[in-house]
Structure 1
């Protein structure tokens, strides 16, 4: 076998070797026939030196490769330590957004952000990621009873946070709801109103044993009989609006306790003299102004007294149910009617249109400054009159 193998032409022709044969191996097979066919006294030593040389070449190549990889690893490690974003073509925010799009958490109770892309009489189709759509049923679109999702302002292009409440096994789509978020906001709003000790004007929606039921920020509140000013004929109050204050809140047990007596006592303490600031609730809007309920009294906020800036559309500024502050201009004792102004409370002209909260926050201070100006004007007029009398 050996002479035949060593004498084979393929061993002398390197081009006939398969491509996967290493260079060192090729060299060995080329040199062995030459040594075999040309024997010498040192033939054994030559073969031994060739094998050693081949092994040394192979080891040197591996050493160089290891050294090259080691240097590359060292450079990469240093770059990660000093500038990890070097060469990265996207930002961390873009990376997180991509994770949100492709790794959507679909557990019940998870809050997701989506965009409505279609509506019908049964609900709305919502896109919650680049590869996932969901459905918002009509009954889950709003905490109030509505006939169509459009009644809640839900139209194609509407963007909002939703809560996952289930999954449709037929089409594998998520089922969403807005009600948990709205209820959470309503409880938060009630806690704020309680902390502000605000007087609310709420509609009585029914009665139950021991009291009345009222609607506060979309939540059902209970007015114990002991907290109702009018003890007789409670059924006549159903459907009407009463001033109320929040006594107790417990979101976990859905407890909302209200008082009509405390609200009435505070209303009666309000100063109704001209120049005083009162709190009321907008009952309705008319072309000539807003009708406001103040301590059970009817007050008019005329359109000319809303702002120093021109007001053409009252509904763009106020709406029924809004709680406002106004300065008393006049009180008609015979008719129990008030005339109010928010214009006199504006720190700057037009604030009632653009920054209502600022107007209400500084209402008492602006009323004080207004009365001070009146006093100064009266004193100046009196001084002028006395000087004329002397002349």
Structure 2
């Protein structure tokens, strides 16, 4: 030190080694023991830290070591916030990942984003396994489809999995969207979702015989038309289009025609739905003569149709009860005659 600085500092009274009578009360053993009490973390360790303060580009975190650690703004959340205080609360505790060794000042860099990313992938993996529908937010739209934020992760929504014959419109950006998972690949950071699949399952679960649904004709066959009901396809058989005879389905329901139809049967397990517009005709042949009227009055006509079915059901039940009561009267005692056993009844030749 003398050769470098020209002098050497000596405390007043000299060092303890030179003056045995001076007792500082603190030894190297005490220093070593004190240092041993301070926690030490390595890169890759997970720690719980307390937010000490905020800086423009990050936050200071107390993780129990000699110097406060630092969490950069981009590492504070899954999506980079504008300010650290938008996602972290002063004095609150959070879980962080150590992402660097100590620098010359003894400070280590932390990441909360990496912790949240692992949890988000665990969540979407579980959701796909359970075939759960989740609500995401549309972040961007392009010709191939859309980018949807799901559980903080960016997922791709192919255009073909939005709605049949439609690409996600620009107006969808920032809006919530129900989706289901098609592919969850953590290793390749690949996440693919489907709005169409979520809508199909939701429609099937809420479907009931007698419901009136809006759809679009997506295919025309000699035996009928296939109707897209918001992602789910239903069959409108040629015999269920109108009470009047139809020879050519395409002449009555061209491809792309908007339509309303009634559900007359369904098989949820197989995703099959049978439809009818004949039941929505106020007058036989309206589907051929005046489709606009049929679709405009569809709900009202369907309600009357259901009322008629209910009346017919009650009439059948009453008729069945009359038959039962008639049979019972044969075996019931008459007030003017003694009771008869079954063996006493006359036999028909």
TM interval, short-chain normalised: 0.3 to 0.5
Question: TM-score, normalization: structure 2?
Answer: 0.45
Structure of larger gyration radius: 1
Question: TM-score, normalization: structure 1?
Answer: 0.41
> Greater helix share, 1 or 2?
1
